[in-house]
Amino acid sequence: MSDPAAPIPRSSPFGIEWSYLLPMLAFLGFTQIGVWWPNLFPEVYVLKTIVTALLLVLCWPAFTRISWKAWKLGILIGIVGVIQWVAMEKLLLHLWPNYPRIHLTVLDPFSEIPNTILRLIFFTFRWLGPTLVVPFMEELFWRDYLWRTIIAPNDFRLARIGEWDLKAFWLVPLFFASVHPQIWITALVWALMIGLLLLRTKSLGACIIAHGVTNFLLGAWVLFHTPHDWYFW
């Protein structure tokens, strides 16, 4: 296996492997803090977004160069993705309302953040974080680092971006679904779709754009249509 997508020839203060791991671990760690202390969720979410973004900037030299080819297809898949995410979960809840999943306490920002300015700050981070920060963090981790690590566990850089592997194709979506336990079936199908996009385009950029478009439109749907369905997001 060759390595046509070599890392940018600069250094990250954390090394290559930890540069991929730290943004995801920080994000998941802050997420768990928000679960343990839901009354601190808005503050924790803002801090989580800032810390993850800073880590991505610091770790950027270690990451694979991102190809933005097939970006139009990424936009299309992102639009299809939000339709799949909402419609599939609604259908699941209609046909199987008690399907096995973790039930989380959902913050109602309108009642729990009474200050209008603070609520707007929270909404800004809650929308822009999933749109601009999370797609880079997750796609670099799931479909760059983890996908290639499953193929070449001794050195993930020996595997190509979007290289076909049956284990990677199924395991990455399963791991992705595991961090969306409240909506895991829907998340699994969405991740399989993004995996197909990666295989078709060999483009991390297309996956990042699809992820960002889905999250942006999902945020618009939640904020302006059904604000009590925050668990979808």
Is it the case that residue 230 has pLDDT exceeding 80? Answer: no
Is it the case that residue 94 has pLDDT exceeding 50? Answer: yes
Residue 225 pLDDT: 65
- Measured from the Cβ of residue 103, the count of other Cβ atoms closer than 10 Å reads 8
Is it the case that residue 2 has pLDDT exceeding 50? Answer: no
Is it the case that residue 93 has pLDDT exceeding 60? Answer: yes
What mean pLDDT is predicted for residues 214-223?
90
Residues 6+ apart with CB under 8 A from 62: 7, 8, 11, 12, 14, 15, 16, 19, 20
Give per-residue pLDDT as tens, 33-79.
Answer: 988 888 888 899 999 999 999 999 999 999 999 999 999 999 999 99
